[in-house]
Amino acid sequence: MKNRHSFDRDFGYLTQRDISVMMIDIDYFKTFNDKFGHLYGDAVLKKISEALLHVYGIGHCYRYGGDEFLVIEDFESKGRLRRNDQKVREYLKQVKILDLKFDIHISVGYVYGQA
Which residues are identified as catalytic? Answer: 67
What's at 4, amino acid-wise?
R
CB proximity list for 4: less than 8 A, separation 6 or greater: 62, 63, 64, 65
User: Which element (helix H / strand E) includes 5?
Assistant: helix 4-10
Helix, strand and coil in the chain, % to nearest 5: 50, 35, 20
The angle at the Cα of 63, spanning 61 to 69, to the nearest 5 degrees, equals 75
